[in-house]
A and B are shown apart, each in its own frame.
Chain A
Amino acid sequence: MKEVLIEIKDLECEIGDQKILKGLNLKVNKGEIHAIMGPNGSGKSTLSSLLAGNDNYKITNGSISFEGEDITDLSPEERSWKGVFLAFQYPIEIPGVSNINFLRTALNEKNKFFGKDPIPAKDFLKMVSEKSALVGLDNKLKNRSVNEGFSGGEKKRNEIFQMAMLNPKLSILDETDSGLDIDALKIVAGGVNKLKSNENATIVITHYQRLLDYIVPDFVHVLHDGKIVKTGDKNLALELEKKGYDWLKINSLN
């Protein structure tokens, strides 16, 4: 039997006066890849942000449970320690803070949470070289300030490199394909596939079917107006590519 990793129930949220999610339900088991597609403004990025614990949004109803534990009110860092990772659509620059130092701090904070000692420098560096090879991250980028002056492709690669370093249980890829050329897309997708196991799961948020040629989903969900209006297998993505979203919008109105 499959083990549930994350379960979202009747989730509703708002920012200011605007309701964004209006009763969203989603269950992801370990070992699965779920794709969430949908038109602009349907709430895709809100969902990813919310799962990561961004408190800009006010949750008005519903719950999120992770490995059976209610994490609805947990802080972003606690969720991170428990294994939630968000690959940002627009990775943030942190001037003066080296990529390496950033990751080491992150790993040690996680270790501290689990009562473990800080990772020894030697082990850390070994891990860095292993994991960066996975996404072909340029050596120089490791010592540069986090994302500062990185190209769009380098930023996305760096996200997947961080993901590999933190070894999360749930990875949420928020439009990781945006701004990537086809070669970069293949490398990034290759990295994600290599990190896949029966113990973790991935939620891929995307506009386009293209990414799903490389990261093949078990389920495809269509998000529209704050709700999941249709769920299918990978063929649903192909259908959406051909027909667009309008036919679903009409359906959901009915």
Chain B
Amino acid sequence: MSYTEKDLKEDLDNKSYEFGFVTDIESEKAPVGLNEDIVRLISSKKNEPEWLLNYRLKAFEVWQTMKEPNWSHVEYEKPDFQNISYYAAPKKKKELKSLDEVDPELLKTMDKLGISIEEQKKLSGVAVDFVMDSVSVATSFKEKLGELGIIFCSFSEAVQNHPDLIQKYMGTVIPYTDNYYAALNSAVFSDGSFCYIPKGVRCPMELSTYFRINESGTGQFERTLLIADESSYVSYLEGCTAPQRDENQLHAAVVELISLDQAEIKYSTVQNWYPGDKKGVGGVYNFVTKRGICGYRSKISWTQVETGSAVTWKYPSCILKGDYSVGEFYSVAVTNNFQQADTGTKMIHVGKNTKSTIISKGISAGKSQNSYRGLVKIGKGAINARNFSQCDSLLMTDRCGAHTFPYIECENPSATVEHEATTSKIGEEQLFYCMQRGISEEKAISLIVNGYAKEVLNKLPMEFAVEAQKLLEISLEGSVG
């Protein structure tokens, strides 16, 4: 045999992170450390109104009184918050009007990511707001969206141009008192995305933001605020890859969704932060707070494919406040080597006849730990609320772990809550069957895993689904044992 399985394993073990590269762009960085002056510096750098500075300062005050939580099923070295630089902006020589003016280095980066904006524009009809470190440097489709009254821009821009909307909605779903990392984010958030869909408008294209952590040692604190006004619809894509790093990088984002009466938000994420090497060194800490609130007959649907990060800790949630509102959570979380993930959702039923669906597919490989943690809460007034949860785990080796922690709190007897869970191990027999038919082991794993995750992948927009499938393939290479 010319190429043995052993060779293959070695090859894969030595294979470095596919998207691990660093863009060489000059950055303007804040001094390392965190104190009130840094918070003020960030705010003034961004030319923020006073109310926002005060918001940051209050958040910082609260954060200082909080303790880092440790209830999740993950272990990691606590970040040294005084050893992080809280602000980095690519040095801009001038305002960018067209792609020709974008730094060629940056364009190269985008090429490597396979998301050349030109191509995106032509082929997929996706408007890309590319966040490089903390400041958006390229935005497309803005004009076309503008005609419909849709606002899609960086958070900083929105602060300047639409302060009323920001002031009205920011922190209404996730107040800065919510949790440790949300408080930190509220104090030092650098930039992010803002989106507003006016009443009755159906956003004609998928809105997409690519996040990147680029500057070494820069914690990234993104903030996303998405407002779908009454009877509007938007599908929003968030995807990311990150360069290879030795030290741990902290990523603590806050995403707030507001779905007003009869509106619908579909929020899809493909997350591929650097997971650390095969010995568990390095990798991104992904501690994200994501939550949405639904008005009358409105709907929020979270779909996520999580393959990256050394430690993932996130629970995209829905507050089903309006009667007849609907919350959905579809998730595929892959962990390999020493990755740890504690992820799931919270469905808070407040309104009558509210409905939620949770489909979670965990895939554990290597020596990783993969946990589903979910809360279904039916409030007193949530008459006839319904929930269905399905949590499946797939084990690729006998050294990894899969855990399920479903919490159900029901205060209304008319509610229906269903929970199903399965655990299975990828079978040697399945692999042999595929291989006998001429499908190589790698391809077979990808086929089996994609089949397993199909219910979730089907929920992703087309171009994302392809990318997600590829990611699953890359993430699980050589992982059966």
Contact = CB atoms under 8 A, between A and B. Distances in A.
A74 B443 contact: no
B432 A106 contact: no
A135 interface: no
A106 B451 contact: no
Nearest to B458: A96
B75 interface: no
A18 B428 CA distance: 20
Given A97-B447, A102-B447, A77 B435 contact: yes
Contacts of B433: 88, 91-92, 94
Contact of B451 (A74, A81, A85, A94): A94
Interface of B: 1, 5, 427-430, 432-441, 443, 447-448, 450-455
B448 A94 contact: yes
Contact of B447 (A80, A81, A105): A105
Given A94-B451, A97-B448, A105-B443, A81 B430 contact: no
A54 B434 CA distance: 12
A166 B437 contact: yes
A109 B434 CA distance: 11
Interface string A57-91: 00000000000000001111110110001101001
A10 B110 CA distance: 59
A32 to B, nearest CB: 22
14 contacts: A52-B436, A53-B436, A75-B1, A76-B435, A77-B435, A77-B436, A92-B427, A92-B432, A94-B430, A96-B450, A96-B455, A102-B447, A105-B443, A109-B438
Given A94-B448, A96-B450, A96-B452, A106 B427 contact: no
B438 A81 contact: yes
Interface string A83-123: 00110100111111100011101110110010000000000
Nearest to B433: A92
B430 A92 contact: yes
Given A92-B429, A96-B454, A109 B448 contact: no
A95 B422 CA distance: 13
Interface in A162-186: 162, 166
B432 A54 contact: yes
A76 B432 contact: yes
A77 to B, nearest CB: 5
A145 interface: yes
Contacts of B439: 77, 102, 105-106, 109
B440 A77 contact: yes
Contacts of B443: 105, 109
Contacts of A110: 438
A95 B451 contact: yes
Given A52-B436, A80-B437, 17 more contacts: A73-B1, A76-B436, A80-B435, A80-B436, A86-B436, A88-B436, A92-B429, A94-B448, A95-B451, A96-B451, A97-B447, A102-B437, A109-B439, A109-B440, A113-B438, A145-B451, A162-B437
A74 B1 CA distance: 5
Given A92-B427, A92-B429, A94-B430, A75 B435 contact: yes
Contacts of B441: 77
Contacts of A92: 427, 429-430, 432-433
A109 to B, nearest CB: 5
Nearest to B430: A92
Of B436, B438, B439, which is in contact with the most chain A CB atoms at under 10 Å from its CB?
B438
A86 B429 CA distance: 13
For B427, B432, B450, the residue with the greatest tally of chain A CB atoms inside 10 Å of its CB is B432
A226 B354 CA distance: 65
Contacts of B436: 52-53, 76-77, 80, 85-86, 88
Given A54-B432, A94-B448, A77 B438 contact: yes
Contacts of B453: 96
Contacts of A145: 451
Contacts of B451: 94-97, 145
A60 to B, nearest CB: 17
A73 B6 CA distance: 13
A13 to B, nearest CB: 16
Contact of A53 (B428, B435, B450, B455): B435
User: A-B pairs with the 7 shortest C-beta distances?
Assistant: A96-B451, A97-B451, A80-B438, A76-B435, A92-B433, A96-B454, A106-B437
Contacts of A97: 447-448, 450-451
A101 B432 CA distance: 17
B432 A94 contact: no
Contacts of A109: 438-440, 443
Interface string A31-58: 0000000000000000000001110100
A113 B2 CA distance: 14
Nearest to B449: A96
Contacts of A81: 438
Contacts of A85: 436
Contacts of B1: 73-75, 78
Contacts of B432: 52, 54, 76, 92
Contacts of A94: 430, 433-434, 447-448, 451
B425 to A, nearest CB: 13
Residue among B5, B451, B455 with most chain A CB within 10 A: B451
Contacts of B455: 96
A94 B435 CA distance: 13
Nearest to B361: A96
Nearest to A55: B5
A105 B442 CA distance: 12
B468 to A, nearest CB: 14
Contacts of B452: 95-96
Nearest to A85: B436
Contacts of A76: 432, 435-436
Nearest to A98: B451
A103 B433 CA distance: 12
A53 B428 CA distance: 13
A157 B455 CA distance: 28
A93 B439 CA distance: 15
Interface in A189-238: none
Nearest to B3: A75
Nearest to B424: A95
Contacts of A105: 439, 443, 447
Contacts of A53: 435-436
A56 B451 CA distance: 25
A88 B430 CA distance: 12
Given A94-B433, A105-B447, A109-B443, A166 B438 contact: yes
